[in-house]
């Protein structure tokens, strides 16, 4: 499902116009992005948790040359599915 299909599904489920559904989706994604950038997490009970995880510095290889290199530590977004979402997917 791509973004326009998601907007159409949100509009149908929420009985909204596609324009309103698009604005709601954009607001949601911007809010999640801003919250994670601030270092906080978002928990949607029954759905899951969006959080920021620290990835430590590690050794790697340059695939072109085969030389070892150090991959810098970084922060990455993460999502952990909640029980409700896991149960819904099981069937």
Specify the pLDDT at position 38: 96
Give the whole-angstrom CA distance, residue 13 versus residue 24. 13
Domain spans of the chain, in order of start: 1-40, 41-91
Specify the pLDDT at position 26: 97
Which pTM was predicted?
Answer: 0.80
CATH superfamily of 41-91: IHF-like DNA-binding proteins (4.10.520.10)
pLDDT band at 77 (very low <50, low <70, confident <90, very high): very high
Q: From the centroid of its chain, how far is CA 26?
A: 13
Q: How many CB atoms lie within 10 A of CB 7?
A: 20
Please give the average per-residue pLDDT across 79-83, as a whole number: 96
Give the whole-angstrom CA distance, residue 20 versus residue 13. 12
pLDDT band at 34 (very low <50, low <70, confident <90, very high): very high
Specify the pLDDT at position 5: 97
For residue 89, which phi and psi values (nearest 5 degrees)? -75, -30
pLDDT band at 84 (very low <50, low <70, confident <90, very high): very high
């Amino acid at each position: 499902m791509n973004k326009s299909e998601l907007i159409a599904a949100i509009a149908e489920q929420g009985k909204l116009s596609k324009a309103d559904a698009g604005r709601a989706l954009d607001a949601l994604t911007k809010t999640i992005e801003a919250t994670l950038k601030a270092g906080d997490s978002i928990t949607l009970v029954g759905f899951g948790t969006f959080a920021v995880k620290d990835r430590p510095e590690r050794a790697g290889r340059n695939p072109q040359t085969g030389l070892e290199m150090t991959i810098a530590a970084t922060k990455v977004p993460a999502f952990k599915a909640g029980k409700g979402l896991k149960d819904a997917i099981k069937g």
